[in-house]
Amino acid sequence: MTTMAQETAVPATPTASAAAIRRHELAAFLRHRREHIAPEQVGLPRGRRRRTPGLRREEVAQLSAVGVTWYTWLEQARDIQVSVQVLDALARALQLDPTERSHLFQLAGAVDPTPATVCPSITPAIQQVLEQLEPVPACVQNSRYDILAYNRTYGLLLCDLDAVPPEDRNCMILSYTNDDWRSSIVHLAEAQRLMAARFRATMAGHLAEPGWKMLLKRLRTESPEFREVWDRHEVIEHRGRRKEFMNRYVGHVSVDHTDLWLGPDAGPRMVTYAPADEESRLRLEKLHAIALERTPRPSA
C-alpha cells in the first residue's frame, strides 16, 4: 500500500524553484500521456459514458497499482517522493517508449533501474561496427554488465539472446541464473568469481544509484552462488583474457576477450571475442552462418 507523503512548506530558493518546475513538467507530461491512450490499448472497455479523452486517473492508478489520491497528487504537481518502482509501473501503464521513459525518470529526478533497450551511446555507426566485426562475436555493455547491443554471432554464442527478455540481458544475471548461458561457459566458477570482483570494484562509484542496488538485490535474492562469491569481497580491474565456450551449435570455441571503451570514463564499452586459434575461427564463421540463416528476411 502506498504511503502518502504530507505536504510541507518549501523555501523559495533557486533549488526549490527548479524542483517545482520539474514537478509541473512531470504533471503535464503524465496528463498528456494519459489523455492520449485509448482504453482499448490497455485492455479496458470504453463504455458509453466516457467523457475523458484517453484514460481516467483512477484507471492509470489501477494499472500501476498505486492509490488514486496519490496519483492525483502527482498530476497536481504536489511535492511528494516517487520511488523508481512506481515510476517503472507508470511507464508500463502509460506504454512509454524508451525516450518517453527516460524523460519521465529525468523529470522525477530518478535513475532508471532497468537495462535500456535503446541507449544514447548506441548510434547507427556503432551498430554498423558490431555487424562488420562478424564473425567475431561483439557487444556493447555498460559498467554494470547490461548488454545494450550485440551482433548476430554474439547473439548465439552463449544462448539465444534474442529470446531473452531485455530486462534480463545482463551478463551477471545470465551467468548466475540462465541455464543455457551457464552451460556455455567452460570455466563457469572462475568466470563468475572474476565478474563479481569486477562488479564490486566498479560499484564503489555507484553505491547510491538505484539501478545498481536493485541489480545487487536481485542477484543476492536469486542466486546462492552469487551470495557466496559476493561475500568474499574480492575486487579486480577490467582486463582482457582468454575465454572458452562450449557452443550448442559448433562446439568448443577459444577466444581472446578485449574491451574497447567508448568514452573517457569506465562506462559503455565494446566487448570483442577474437578467435584464439584457427579451429575457433572456422567455428565462429559457421556460427555466423547459422545466425544469418535464423535472421528473418525483409519482405519484398
Write the pLDDT tens digit of every residue in 277-296. Answer: 999 999 999 999 999 998 76
Number of helices (H) and strands (E) in the chain: give both, helices first.
13, 5
**Size (the chain), residues:** 300
Cell numbers standing for residue 258: 578485449
The arithmetic mean of pLDDT across residues 267-278, rounded, is 94
Distance CA 234, CA 240 (A): 18
Share above pLDDT 90 across residues of the chain, in percent, rounded to a whole number = 54
Please determine, for residue 114, whether its predicted confidence score (pLDDT) is greater than 80. Answer: no
Q: Are 71 and 60 in contact (CB under 8 A)?
A: yes
The arithmetic mean of pLDDT across residues 84-88, rounded, is 89
Please determine, for residue 199, whether its predicted confidence score (pLDDT) is greater than 90. Answer: yes
Rounded to 5°, angle at Cα 184 from 160 and 180: 45
Distance CA 163, CA 161 (A): 5
Global confidence as pTM: 0.65
Confidence grade of residue 300 (pLDDT, cut at 50, 70, 90): very low
User: Dihedral through CA 191, CA 194, CA 197, CA 201, nearest 10?
Assistant: -120
Rounded to 5°, angle at Cα 192 from 278 and 166: 85
Contacts made by residues 216-222, CB under 8 angstroms, sequence distance 24+: 218/173, 219/172, 219/173, 219/176, 222/173, 222/176, 222/177
Q: Are 149 and 130 in contact (CB under 8 A)?
A: yes
